[in-house]
Amino acid sequence: MTLSRHLLRLVPLAALAAGLAGPLAAQPSAAAPAIDFLYGERELFPSAIVCFTADSRYAPVDAQQLGDPQGVISVKLTAPSDDCLVRITFSETPFFEESHVSCRLPKAGTVYHVAPVMRYRAEKLAAQRQPLANLVVRAVVELPGETLELSTKVVVHSVNDAIMQYRPRDEHAAIDDWKSDTKAILAAYVNENHPWIDQRITRHALDRKYVAAFSGYQGDAAAVTQELRAVYDTLADFGFKYTSFKEPSAAPVNRAGNVRLQAIRLVGDSLESAQANSLETALLLASVCRKLSIDTTVFLLPKKQVLLGVYTGFNHKKTGALLVLDPRQLGYEKFDAAVAAGAAAFEPVRDKLLFGEGEEQEKLRHSAERFSYLAVDIDLARSNGILPIPETRRDFRSAFGESSPNHPVTP
């Protein structure tokens, strides 16, 4: 009888112990370390890696990330103790050399992203013209008393894939609203350094006597307009036609993820094929203008419409000195018609476009329309750390030879 009473007393105690242990056992352990990415999911975008300088105000950044705040590849891990030393080594791949970072994780139980300054092979990334699947990225994480090996398979996009919008991580390693800052990456596809600009375009215009010289802002607004007309007419002579290519080389790994892409031809691609969509035509014209020290702004409007603004006066930031043309007209309409079409599309939305400063512009930057009406000032982008994507020099004879009816040789 005494034994039975003793057992009865033990049952409630066992039940209480089980009840306490259950919630403790159900608590999740700290997430295992994993390779993570600043934007995209298990994918690399060469265009963004090769064009942003270290101090670019437009580069995607995570200010809370330890190591390199601009680091695209990181390791996400939970600090096992306060002031915990961690060393991370990323193994060599065809696109970067072995890269290291050492730092201390300040607070135990806190999730951190740690990114080294990656030793990228920039030339290799810039030359990537096709998507590549299943690149293995491997990292070794060294913690006190523990060494972990991590690996993941990554998609490497073509350099033609431009990030138009992205959603950055917040301090809780989540994602918040879409950002349009990366629209400035369009300036990377403006390549004033391409040798064909002076070898073919300005040379053709001079030989045809479309202008006597290219003097940029040394002349008046009429002279600058005439130089733009000469470039436009030269590209028309080369047989340029509209072609709507805009699908990226590979879709984002997660279609509902944190990047939105568009494929953009490089300047050499457009010149070689004499084809471009409206955005690519605007970027090509902007490339020539940049070579001539004439400042431009690319305007993005709803329904994929693109306009090119060219400042015709030396005090070019005054909008009264802005000539706007519709690049879709190249190859089909004369220069004056392209300017008339540009003005007709631009004037009704002038106040909605993000170019300039002031209270109204600041309101627009935080409004729902900020993705529909965008402006990329090429000179501003250059001065804020966006460089042209380098292109491999081609033999222009293969592109502009006598055998090609689209590219008549200048007599």
Domains and CATH numbers, the chain: 34-159 (2.60.40), 183-400 (3.10.620)
The 10s digit of each residue's pLDDT in 242-265 is 888 778 888 877 665 678 888 999
Calpha distance 385→55 (Å, rounded): 6
The 10s digit of each residue's pLDDT in 321-358 is 899 999 999 999 999 999 999 999 999 888 777 555 55
Amino acid at 378: I
Give the global pTM.
0.84
Question: What is the structure's pLDDT at 223?
Answer: 95
- Cα distances from 56 to residues 45, 53, 186, 378, 380, in angstroms, run 17, 5, 14, 14, 11
Least Cα distance to 346 among 311, 377, 307 occurs for: 307
Residue ranges of the chain whose pLDDT lies below 50: 1-3, 6-8, 10-11, 13-29, 171-176, 396-411
DSSP string over 25-77: HHSPPPPPPEEEESSSSSEE-HHHHHHB-TT-SSS---TT-EE-TT-SEEEEE
Least Cα distance to 123 among 362, 306, 390 occurs for: 390
Least Cα distance to 271 among 400, 126, 128 occurs for: 400
Task: Tell me which H or E stretch contains 380.
Answer: helix 378-383
Calpha distance 25→33 (Å, rounded): 21
